[in-house]
Amino acid sequence: MTPHSASNITLSAWRSRFLLGLLLLGFFGLVGRAAYLQGNDFLQKEGKSRYSRIVETSERRGMITDRRGEVLAISTPVASVCADPRKMEASKEQLENLAVLLKMDITEIQARVSDKRRGFVYLKRRVLPEAAESVAKMSVPGVFLKNEFQRFYPTKEMAAHVLGLTDIDDRGQEGVEREWQEKLASELGKRRVIRDRKGQIVEDVEKIRAARQGQDLVLSLDSGIQYLAHSGLKDAVEKNKAKAGSIVVLDAQTGEVLGLSNLPVYNPNRRTTINDTNIRNRALIDTFEPGSTLKPFAVAVAMEVGQVNPDTVVQTAPGTLRVGRATIRDVQDKGELTVAQIIQESSNVGTAKIALALPAQTLWEMLSRSGFGMPADIGFPGEAKGALRPYKTWRPIEQATMSYGHGISASLLQLARAYTLFTTGGELKPVSLLKQNSPTMGQQVISRATALAMSNMLELATQPGGTAPLAQVNGYRVAGKTGTAHKLIDGSYAKDRYISSFIGYAPASNPRLIIAVMLDEPSAGQYFGGAVAAPVFSRVMTGALRMLNVPHDAPANNIVLFPATPEVEIEEGIL
């Protein structure tokens, strides 16, 4: 056969149709197979898992500010180093570099990515920006960065016990951060992305759910007053070698907390400084026997029922009072004292006599309505309610000692709140850690006349013959009460350990601030409330009133130096 004849060879018609049919059949088979593969859910899922990911997106937690807008807590963006163990491919040299950058052991990194069934693990949370940038430049397959937020507290330790702190996942663990977690917390979002073989995001496909930013929170705190309170307390604790201390500053008319500090304290930005001792917000969760700072309430209820008035004379001689088998003492026999002098000189005998003339139920109701024995409901985790036993269980000696602050316990916040009775015309105000934008309503406990009379008597405590001359404030009238109580330890009163306190307010003519100070076990020689707590009050009150531009209600040279009478204010308990 010649080449020419071969080129003329043709297939028969049926053979060409058969071949065409085979080709079409194969084509449709491929199309069908492709359609099957495209529509198979399992295969689709497996295919997408190789490149498609749903990743979480985050927004910042709500800011916490003081009443003037000063930032107290804020979340700042940081990067965390993560890995996909199924895709991680790192040489020994890369692992060594990662370990150096992340300040980790190679074995720890290898352990975290050892489970190849996992698609996500953290290698290191919240790394420094320089380290994150270096990790990104390494381009290790399966290693990537995740944007997160870290809580930062600009004021450091100054407001730590109020603010609290968050954990590594930005959830509130203490203080305001914990109590208002739902409001402050952000909500994670979700988006679908495409990653390359190295685990890096190369394309945003869709936003599934937008992340929601946390709501901001405005506290009642005033940063300026908070600084004054914290620094004043710190100096006093150090000077008097006290075991601990607390201070509370309230708006005398609204009950808002303008300042609150405790020592020991911690820095929430440095978690290594935190322990069980310094994390306690002692002003709210610790209780103590308030001592003589409770005397105004026993006298106030006696005036309220018409039993006494400020000029009523009470015989305190011979400086002791026998109640059953126990003896109540004043260190010095003062003879006849008016009710006003009993408050001024802090007489245990005089106060006990007034209290014993009252029905137990009447005294109990006064203390209960003043907020003792129940939490102040400030919205703080672990807040103490104190101890106020039912009046039906009281023995006469217990009724007597309770009038001067023994046999009852309260937190410093409860005591500060109770003194709103004398700054608002007899009304017990609610306390708040949040800024109030409208007037707050309280509960009327005593009459305006009784509140004013008691305020005048409390002012005498800082005047000649009083127990707290060191509480005076230049240019302002001050009212308040000292307390020096033997510390109750394991059911017994320790003879050489004291709780020293002062609670007062100014200007006495139109009260603006209440400040309560407590020092636990001062041991530098002085321990009377008038000597160790009253000066803290004076220092903080002076600065705060000046800061708030409160008008003067006394001459600029009103401070009179005179000896205090601390020996009569010490409460001996039941002897």
Contact between 80 and 125 (Cβ < 8 Å):
yes
Sorted by sequence, the CB contacts under 8 Å of residue 171 that are 6+ apart come out as 181, 185
CB neighbourhood size of 392 (10 A): 8
CB neighbourhood size of 492 (10 A): 10
CA distance 291 to 482: 8
In 3D space, the residue among 74, 423, 384, 93 whose CA is nearest the CA of residue 256 turns out to be 423
- What three-state secondary structure class fits 181? helix
CA distance 398 to 31: 96
First to last CA, the chain: 140
Strand partners, 59: none
Contact between 524 and 239 (Cβ < 8 Å):
yes
Contact between 509 and 227 (Cβ < 8 Å):
no
CA distance 86 to 353: 82
Contact between 145 and 82 (Cβ < 8 Å):
yes
In 3D space, the residue among 560, 569, 557, 559 whose CA is nearest the CA of residue 533 turns out to be 569
CB neighbourhood size of 126 (10 A): 15
Contact between 63 and 216 (Cβ < 8 Å):
yes
In 3D space, the residue among 456, 522, 113, 431 whose CA is nearest the CA of residue 248 turns out to be 431
Q: At what angle do helices 360-369 and 295-304 cross, to 10 degrees?
A: 120
Tell me the HSE value of 14 on the side-chain side, using a 13 A CA sphere.
0
In 3D space, the residue among 116, 251, 244, 249 whose CA is nearest the CA of residue 516 turns out to be 249
The catalytic residues are 292
The string of DSSP codes covering 21-74 is: HHHHHHHHHHHHHHHHHHH-HHHHHHHHTTTEEEEEE--PPPPEE-TTS-EEEE
CB neighbourhood size of 501 (10 A): 30
Contact between 467 and 457 (Cβ < 8 Å):
no
Where are any strands of DSSP class E within 367-416? none
